[in-house]
Amino acid sequence: MSSKVVICGAGFLGSNIAKALTIGTSESNIFYRVQISSRSPQRTYDELKPLINPEQLLLPVAADVTNPDSLKKAFEDADVIVSLVGLMHGSVEDFNRIQWKGAENVAKAAKSAGARLVHFSAIGADPHSFIPYARTKALGESAVFEVYPDATVIRPSLVFGPGDGFFVRFGKLSQVLPFLPVFGGGTSRFQPVFVGDIARAVEIIARNDPKIQESVQGKVIEAGGPEVFNYRQLMDIVLNYTERKRPVISLPFALGAVQGFVMEQLPVNLFTVTRAQVEQLKSDNVVNPSPPANHASFKDLVERHSGSPLKSVHEILPTYLKSSSSVF
């Protein structure tokens, strides 16, 4: 069988999903044809080209989630759409336009194309939050389900793996700073999830298996790894696997807000932190231990259909963190 999967959104997560789809061919008996689509997909395509069977990596097609006409062209003949709509920095208007209305545009285009939809949101999505990121993630989810009730929504916790934006970043900061900062004691909890496990989940969902499809259609899947750590523990893990000795110092949330106000005025760089990001550290980022009926288990989905357990940070971080955390 052949299945065309359009990954709407290039980058770290999209690249790993593309590779997992290729590897999954032999296990699922599906010949996945993968197309990368974003505003500028060529760079990701060029990076993937040496790694993926040329018969499986289709030519990239530019698409902008704020332009429905471009989505219609990009989604032509697609069987599955993976929507990675999102941004980390921007104005309130940017978040509304991309994470909310952009997600809605993708859902409409996917439904029109007759393709199944996997939409990525985030743990902590909350329509009542005053943080634009969390609020528009939730509004995007609602818009997706309203347009496409059979869509599947994945909410990851902190995603890690080679090239990630968290552990690698703090590894680099540990080289240039005399200490690693945490805010408010570093007590907020996270459930880091391996990017390869998320990619594997998407490959499983993309299979033409009626039982799998029935188990994920219209469902929210909160994706967390096998362990929960607080923020201070994550900094200790960074120092351990980069083999550096630095104190971990707690700073008041108020000081973080001041730092965020200043950094928001500057171009995004290694030291960038925003007031919204500091505010988000006041809340845990873990899988709901008592999920509602419309949720499906990430752990069950991956482990049942792949035959291997979810990966631990202690298994994966030593393979890349030290080598990728140098700024010189």
Q: What is the pLDDT of residues 144-158, one digit of tens each?
A: 999 999 999 999 999
Confidence class for position 26, pLDDT limits 50, 70, 90 = low
As a residue count, the chain comes to 328
Give the separation between CA 208 and CA 220, rounded to whole angstroms: 19
| Residue 15 CB-half CA count within 13 A | 17
Mean pLDDT (whole number) for 122-142: 96
* pLDDT classification of 326: cutoffs 50, 70, 90: confident
Residue 260 clears pLDDT 90, i.e. is over it: no
pLDDT in tens, 262-274: 888 878 888 888 8
Confidence (pLDDT) at 24: 66
pLDDT in tens, 189-218: 999 999 999 999 999 999 999 999 999 999
328 has pLDDT over 80 = no
Determine the pLDDT at residue 61. Answer: 97
DSSP state of 128: T
pLDDT digits (tens, 9 = 90+) for 46-101: 999 999 999 999 999 999 999 999 999 999 999 999 999 889 888 899 999 999 99
Q: How far apart are CA 304 and CA 136, in angstroms?
A: 32
- Rounded to whole angstroms, how far apart are CA atoms 217 and 144? 12
Alpha helix ranges (H) inside the chain: 12-23, 25-28, 42-48, 68-74, 92-95, 101-113, 132-147, 167-176, 195-206, 210-216, 231-242, 253-263, 275-280, 298-306, 313-316, 321-324
Q: Which domains, ranges and CATH numbers included, belong to the chain?
A: 2-160+193-224+286-307 (3.40.50.720)
Residue 27 has pLDDT above 70, yes or no: no
Q: Inform me whether the pLDDT recorded for 29 exceeds 90.
A: no
Q: Of the ranges 24-38, 102-116, 173-187, which one carries the lowest mean pLDDT score?
A: 24-38
Rounded Cα–Cα distance for residues 227 and 202 (Å): 21
| Predicted pLDDT of residue 300 | 97
pLDDT of residue 2: 85
Q: Where is average pLDDT lowest: 73-87, 103-117, 251-265?
A: 251-265
Return the amino acid letter for 264. Answer: E
Contact 124, 283 (CB under 8 A): yes
Compute the mean pLDDT over every residue in the chain, rounded to the nearest whole number. Answer: 94
What average pLDDT score do residues 152-181 get? 96
pLDDT of residue 263: 82
